[in-house]
Structure 1
Amino acid sequence: MLRTFLALTTLLLAAVVAAPVVAQDEPQDRAPPPPPPENVRIDYARVLSAEPVYQTLRATSMVERCEPEAAESPVPDRERRGLSRVVGAVRDVLTPSDEVEEVARSAGGDCRMVPVEREFRRPIGYDVDYVHKGVKYRSRLPYDPGNRVRVRISVTPVVSASGE
């Protein structure tokens, strides 16, 4: 029994002594090293063209339109006399019959709601063509840059896994 006790104590002591060694072998949660700083500079490129880009919006709204009530039947020519007959004839010729005349609701016209479609165009950006160091580029910008545009130039070496 004493031997068993000594054997268990030895095993327990060996486990306690080996635990820090095992813990050191496990990877710890460390943040990866920060990337090297970029080689960045600002330069200007010559603008070739800047074309506005528009968004077209359509909206339908309901508008009340009123037409005049049917006019009473005109007085026949034979019942008109003198100047009234001449004025009536001129009025009949000059009054358009096909055109809808809008009148106020208080005038007793026939009113109804009519859909009216409207179209709006608003600028959303500019497609800009520009040249930097002989290379042509195209970008969409939220503003018109004018004759030149600022560009960010970043140079970073390509590091391959094979070490080339």
Structure 2
Amino acid sequence: MQLHRHLVIAALLAALASASAQAGDSGYHAGDGYDFARVTDVTPIYRDIQVRRPRTECWEETVAYPGPGSAAGTVIGGLIGAAVGRESGHRRRGRNGRTLAGAAVGAAIGHEISRAGKVRYGTEQRCQVVDEFTTERELVGYDVRYRYNGRHYLTRTDQHPGDRIRVRVDVTPAW
């Protein structure tokens, strides 16, 4: 009976060794469910994205400034307006009002006339924000081709896997 037991144990050990030899150098051990496969090709995957970069753009612009009116133009215009207003009044009672109104209108006209010919020019800096768009390539992952037990597979990963990749192994009986 003991000999029979030894023969059964030897047969079981031989079966396990045979299963391990069939798995080859993969290193798979029944129970943990993971193994490593040899990577045959890695291709980086990129995506083009538009990047907005606002920048300030400035330039010099020539600007016209009206010159200051001379006091002489205002005074002369006021005197002429007062004289016209005084002469246009027939009655004494309305003459002062017309004289003042004429003086005011004449002063305003004289001031504008004296300003009209005097313009000075200068430069001012103008700025605006301009959006500049550039296209950049962004690495999004890797297409990884690998080989496991004589079969080829393809997957996408976030990181470069190196020369081997960890795979999940699921063995189920075939009926």
The TM-score normalised by the length of structure 2 is 0.42
Q: Greater RCO between the two (CA within 8 Å, min separation 6)?
A: 1
Q: Which has the higher helix share?
A: 2
The TM-score normalised by the length of structure 1 is 0.45
